[in-house]
Amino acid sequence: MKKFLKLTAVLTVLSLLLCFFAGCSSAPVAMKYNGTTLTTNMYSFFLSRMKAQVLYNYNSGQDNESFWTQVLDENTGDTFADFFTDIVVDNIKINVICAELFDEYGLSLSKDVYQSIDNDITKLIDEYYSRAEFNLTAAQYGVNDKILRDIYVMEAEIKAAYSYLFGEGGIQAVTDEERETHYRDNYMHIKTLFINTSYNPITDENGNNLYDESGYLKRENKTEEEIAAAKAKAEAVKTLLEAGEDFEALIKEYSDDTDVNEAYPDGFYFTSGTAYYGNVIEVAGKLGDGEWGIAESEYGVHFVLKLPLEDKAYEDKKYEEFFREMDSEITNVKFDKIVNERLDDVWVNEEEISKYSIITYPQNLDM
């Protein structure tokens, strides 16, 4: 019985390959936007590749049904599979929209781009020693070398359209005015005073902090007595702040995060979406300029002071690490607006794409 099942699977793949080689009737259309169509072959390929990305980011690359069938929303019964399928479908629709924009803007790919694509396909085929062996693997994802070339061309068109919009000199490249508006609307300027109630750094004989191979500080848990003393210290700082003591002076006297305070003497710049310790960002977002608040994390107590925004801080080199992603943030907002205005206009062949389940379709780690 096992031999029969294996033979059946092989014959299925071979019949698919024969269709590719013999030029069977074109695959059904999965999506269409204006003059741009995406076949089910392309849809299945993008699904397989995006599935691999989801598993890499959220399940250590492991493909098991238990991951996909986890219930994400008890009210609706939606599972991880439902959630990520919606995301995948929207992302593929965005691909179709961008490919159409390539045509709408009258763009073209250079001979060098086509040659680079052909070289990439040739390299892939060479890794499998023959075109037939390569196509046997590619068939798992609904494609062969010719269809894969069409996909690579589409991806090059998408990249060209994006560059035309937002690249250097692009028609919607970020302007100085947009940077200033985004800065004023989204960033906050803060200082923190940290009281460590969790751990002690491990030091060498000279008192220098030690770090592991990954660059993380080596540490050991505080004793109960040390934790009690740290909490008493935090209470003392709170009392002093309530009495009107200078925040900056208290940082110098009480903060356990001296390295950070020395590295950023003028504070940090964050947005509401910045990942930081505990609820520091949430607390800071509720403060007015000059006000302070208390946040907590697994490491201890964070006293937070909200400072006024400085003039064009994003142009100041001492703050550059806080604004590295600002242009991308602005671009993402503009790009989302462009695609969201068109997303509902993409026709989707629900009957056809329902045949491709993110649970059972193979993840694409090959191409």
Closest by CA to 99, choosing from 40, 151, 158, is: 158
- Mapping DSSP to helix (H, G, I), strand (E, B) and coil, where does residue 59 land? coil
* Span of 93-97, 260-264, 308-312, 314-318 with lowest mean pLDDT: 260-264
Angle at 126 between CA 124 and CA 127, to 5 degrees: 65
Closest by CA to 278, choosing from 261, 260, 303, is: 303
Residues 113 and 69 grouped into a single domain: yes
Residues 160 and 249 grouped into a single domain: no
Residues 152 and 41 grouped into a single domain: yes
* Distance between CA atoms of residues 84 and 61, nearest Å: 15
283, 307, 322 — which closes off a domain? 322
> What is the chain's mean pLDDT, rounded?
92
Yes or no: say if 80 and 72 are a contact pair by the CB < 8 Å rule. yes
- pLDDT class for 214, splitting at 50, 70, 90? confident
Instruction: Give the pLDDT confidence score for residue 290 in this predicted structure.
Output: 96
Residues 97 and 162 grouped into a single domain: yes
Residue 8 pLDDT > 90, yes or no? no
- Asked, for residue 54, whether it belongs to a domain, the answer is yes
Yes or no: say if 219 and 195 are a contact pair by the CB < 8 Å rule. no
Amino acid at 310: E
**Based on C-alpha coordinates, what's the Rg of the chain?**
28
Crossing angle of helices 145-166 and 326-343, in 10° steps, is 120
Instruction: Give the pLDDT confidence score for residue 60 in this predicted structure.
Output: 95
Residue 15 pLDDT > 50, yes or no? no
Domain encompassing residue 164? 29-173
- pLDDT class for 366, splitting at 50, 70, 90? confident
* Span of 8-12, 232-236, 245-249, 256-260 with lowest mean pLDDT: 8-12
User: Tens of pLDDT along 250-302?
Assistant: 999 999 988 888 889 999 999 999 999 999 999 999 999 999 999 999 999 99
Sign of CA pseudo-dihedral 129, 132, 137, 141: positive
- Mapping DSSP to helix (H, G, I), strand (E, B) and coil, where does residue 47 land? helix
Q: What is the average per-residue pLDDT within 347-353?
A: 97
What is the DSSP secondary-structure string of 231-248?
HHHHHHHHHHHHTT--HH
Per the structure, the count of domains in the chain is: 2
Yes or no: say if 190 and 281 are a contact pair by the CB < 8 Å rule. no
Residues 167 and 183 grouped into a single domain: no
User: Tens of pLDDT along 142-194?
Assistant: 999 999 999 999 999 999 999 999 999 999 999 999 999 999 999 999 999 99
- Asked, for residue 367, whether it belongs to a domain, the answer is no
- pLDDT class for 331, splitting at 50, 70, 90? very high
Residues 160 and 285 grouped into a single domain: no
Cα–Cα distances (Å) from 258 to 251, 261, 353, in that order, read 8, 5, 56
Structure tokens at 25: 């009737």
User: Tens of pLDDT along 108-138?
Assistant: 999 999 999 999 999 999 999 899 999 999 9
- pLDDT class for 3, splitting at 50, 70, 90? very low
Cβ count near 265 (within 10 Å) = 11
